Amino acid sequence: MSAIWNPALETMPRAELRQLQLERLQSTVNRVYRYVSYYRHLLDTAGLQPEDFQSFEDLRRLPLTTKQDLRNSYPYGMFAVPLREVVRLHSSIGTTGPPTVVGYTRNDLDHWTDLVARALTACGVGREDVVQISFGYGLFTAGFGFHYGAEAIGAAVIPVSSGNIERQVELMQDFRTTALIGTPSQGLHLARALDKLGVDPHSLSLRVGLFGAEPWGEKTRTEIEQRLLLTAYDTYGLSEIGGPGVSTECECRCGLHLAEDHFYVEVVDPQTGETLPEGAEGELVFTTLTKEAFPLLRYRTGDLASLDTSPCPCGRTFARMSRVSRRTDDLLVMQGVSIYPDEVEQALRAFPEVGKGFQLIARREEEADVLEVLVEVGVVPEMSLPALERLQENLREHLTRTLGLDLTVRLVEPHSLRSPDKREPRVIDQRSL
């Protein structure tokens, strides 16, 4: 069993953890009531005072906070500290809808670094490792999040970022990368690139991989492991509550340990919002317990999972969540980019030649996840073949730019997807996870 980065916290008895969570919940509620008008209004409307939060059950009286609530307060409406105390900003990317922005104080960044250091340590990554970070750097949280965590554990960090697959392979060869960090589709993409370039995976030094930011399952895990010759671990995080490091598998690979000293986690019925008992699958809802700049109460993720607080052989006492493979909505997550069908619909409105129906089809091909967008042609006017080809190309360019993701577009017959008596699903996820 490998080391534990922060044993005092990661193995604390659950009774002590509950006490710590209660203390932190109450101080968070006291601060957001004072500093975040959104939450002050929410509590006032619910007839709650900060001192009414005497237990975790009281938290359930508060409505859930949604992505839309964050968008409505863009950019700084939900910050709990003045901007002069913020030292980093990250933002959601690749969507046409209003973006969201998340801020971090110095203490927030230190906590985040500690969380990622825990995750890396749990997967057996240490100071001897050469860590290649293939997540995108920039506004997206995964690149920087893993970067500082990997530095904290003393590993040698290669901040290669995403893209340029041949360069990625070259670095893995030259720098003798032992730990690969990125999306699972990048993992498959790399495997394919090795084949194409004639590189024998046995000639590489890869030992371990941490993958996330996309849904993936055991089939993909096995394929990545067999083709890259490494042990692949699942990690989970979302930028709204801080980025990567929210939960991670340990070497037992029996669920992802949630950093419960920093987050209070509920599983709710996505329809009713009712809290579900342990073990039941439902939507993950997070309350941040230590965030200074961007605290959130009961933030609904759209991710479906179940919780397990039974003891884990690794010694960590934090609850484990099941791997996320489904969502409550028809949001597609590809290469770390969230694609909402509503946003596609909005983008298509710029084209008077197209009809109302469209369909997003996600496939996992050998190299990576690919997105195909089927778009109905409008009923009138008749278009020549070259005009149709031009329209198809214009749509592809426009959607690629607004969604921030490479994709293909295929035009289909009018009313073939949507008509008064027919309604095809807007999203088909054919990726076998």
Partner 1 sequence: MLPDGHSLLRLQSVRVAYDGVEALKGISLHVNEGEIVALVGANGAGKSTTLNAISGILPLRAGEMEFLGQSLVGRRPDEIVALGITQVPEGRQVFSEMTVLDNLRMGAYLRLRRRDRAGVREDLERILAMFPLLDERRRQPAGTLSGGEQQMLAVGRALMARPRLLLLDEPTIGLAPQVAHQILETIARLREQGTTILLVEQNVLASLRVADRGYVLETGRVVLEGPSEELLRNRDVQRAYLGKDYEEV
345, 328 Cβ separation under 8 angstroms: no
**Is residue 16 a contact residue for partner 1 (CB under 8 A)?**
yes
Q: Which is nearer to partner 1, 182 or 295 (CB)?
A: 295
Q: Minimum Å distance from CB 290 to partner 1? A: 7
Do strands 130-133 and 156-158 pair parallel, antiparallel, or not at all (unpaired)? parallel
107 touches partner 1 (CB under 8 A): yes
Binding part of the chain for partner 1, among 99-107, 352-360, 365-373, 403-411 by CB under 8 A, reads 99-107
54 binds partner 1 (CB under 8 A): yes
Q: Does 176 bind partner 1 (CB under 8 A)?
A: no
Nearest to 354 by CA among 395, 399, 403: 395
Secondary structure (DSSP) of 371-398? EEEEEEEPSSS---HHHHHHHHHHHHHH
Q: Is 24 in the site for partner 1 (CB under 8 A)?
A: yes
Binding letters toward partner 1, positions 259-298, x by CB under 8 A: -------------------------------x-x------
Residues forming a β-bridge with 247: 236, 258
Site string for partner 1, 59-98 (x = CB under 8 A): ----------------------x--xx-------------
Q: Which residue has the tokens 């990125």?
A: 182
Dihedral of alpha carbons 210, 212, 218, 219, sign:
negative
| Nearer to partner 1 among residue 291 and residue 298 (C-beta) | 291
Q: Confirm or reject binding of residue 365 to partner 1 (CB under 8 A).
A: no
Nearer to partner 1, 33 or 146 (CB): 33
Torsion of CA 135, 140, 142, 144, to 10 degrees: 90
Q: For residue 338, which phi and psi values (nearest 5 degrees)?
A: -90, 130
Minimum CB–partner distance for residue 20 and partner 1 (Å): 7
What span, in angstroms and rounded, lies between the C-alpha atoms of 59 and 288?
Answer: 12
Between 111 and 364, name the residue whose CB sits nearer to partner 1: 111
Q: Does 20 bind partner 1 (CB under 8 A)?
A: yes
Out of 51, 166, 278, 393, name the contact with partner 1 by CB under 8 A: 51
State in angstroms the smallest separation of the CB of 80 from partner 1: 10
Q: How far apart are alpha carbons 322 and 38 in whole angstroms? A: 32
Dig out the tokens for 276 from the structure: 């579900």
Going by C-alpha positions, the residue among 247, 283, 275, 298 that lies closest to residue 70 is 298
| Min CB(51)–partner 1 separation in Å | 4
397 binds partner 1 (CB under 8 A): no
Among 1, 2, 3, 30, binds partner 1 (CB under 8 A): 30
Contacts of 354 (CB under 8 A, 6+ apart): 348, 375, 376, 377, 378, 391, 395
State which residue, 17 or 157, has the beta carbon closest to partner 1.
17
Q: Which is nearer to partner 1, 221 or 262 (CB)?
A: 262
Burial profile 89-103: b = 16 or more Cβ within 10 angstroms, e = fewer: bbbbbbbbeeebbbb
Using CB under 8 A, count the residues that bind partner 1.
Answer: 28
Binding site residues, partner 1, CB under 8 A: 13-16, 19-20, 22-24, 26-27, 30-31, 34, 50-51, 53-55, 81, 84-85, 105-107, 110, 290, 292
